[in-house]
């Protein structure tokens, strides 16, 4: 049984992981059940190849598990409401967020503010905003991109803001 395990478990596990959509824990359980069934029902000493049998049994176990889940009612976790209780925003959070966003918005250049205003707040497309601002749509798109990135950096939503800010002065002038 140990020799069979050493020969087959790697390929069998990789196959089952693909079948269950990457869930390694479920795959481990299915591989274990497959090998257990092999040990109980197959004559390992006979020397006949068991690889195809193992893969078929594993596939059948995945299908059976799927069918069983589909026939049972959806299980509900009784603690699902707990995180929502602590993350539910109130009016104070909304006011603080808007104040922070307004301060970050004021740090943008006028061209970037105009581009954001025309696209996000008025709901215009890049082409429409370009017509209003008198610039090509590509320029509007570039300004919006850099403005959003600057807002994210100002709000602390960027993992490595220093990497984004270490650009030469000519880059910023060309982006505007």
pLDDT tens for 19-36 read: 888 888 999 999 889 888
Write down the domain spans for the chain: 2-71, 92-175
The predicted pLDDT at position 38 comes to 82
| CATH number of 2-71, picked from 3.30.70, 1.10.3470, 1.10.1740, 1.10.287 | 1.10.1740
CA dist 62 and 71 (Å) reads 15
Helix, strand, coil % (nearest 5) of the chain?
75, 0, 25
pLDDT value of position 139? 93
Which range has the top average pLDDT, 74-78, 99-103, 132-136? Answer: 132-136
Predicted pLDDT at 81: 56
Decide which of 1.10.3720.10, 3.30.300.30, 1.10.10.10, 3.60.20.10 is the CATH code for 92-175.
1.10.10.10
pLDDT above 90 as % of the chain: 18
The mean of the pLDDT values for the chain is 78
pTM for this entry: 0.40
Q: Provide the pLDDT confidence category of residue 161 given band limits of 50, 70 and 90.
A: very low
Contact between residue 108 and residue 155 where contact means Cβ atoms under 8 Å apart: no
Greater confidence (83 vs 117) lies with 117
CB 147 within 8 A of CB 106: no
Question: Nearest 5°: phi and psi at 143?
Answer: -65, -40
């Amino acid at each position: 049984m140990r020799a069979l395990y050493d020969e087959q478990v790697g390929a069998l596990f990789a196959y089952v992981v693909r079948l269950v959509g990457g869930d390694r824990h479920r795959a481990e359980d299915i591989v274990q059940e497959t090998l257990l069934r092999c040990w109980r029902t197959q004559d390992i000493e006979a020397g006949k190849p068991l690889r195809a049998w193992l893969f078929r049994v594993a596939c059948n176990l995945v299908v059976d598990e799927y069918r069983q889940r589909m026939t049972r009612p959806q299980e509900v976790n009784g603690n699902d409401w707990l995180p929502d209780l602590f993350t539910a925003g109130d009016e104070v959070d909304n006011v603080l967020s808007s104040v922070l966003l307004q301060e970050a918005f004021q740090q943008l250049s006028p061209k970037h503010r105009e581009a954001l205003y025309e696209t996000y707040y008025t709901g215009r497309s890049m082409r429409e905003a370009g017509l209003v601002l008198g610039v090509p749509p590509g320029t509007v798109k570039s300004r919006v991109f850099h403005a959003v990135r600057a807002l994210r950096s100002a709000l602390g939503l960027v993992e490595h803001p220093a990497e984004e800010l270490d650009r030469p002065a000519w880059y910023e002038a060309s982006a505007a």
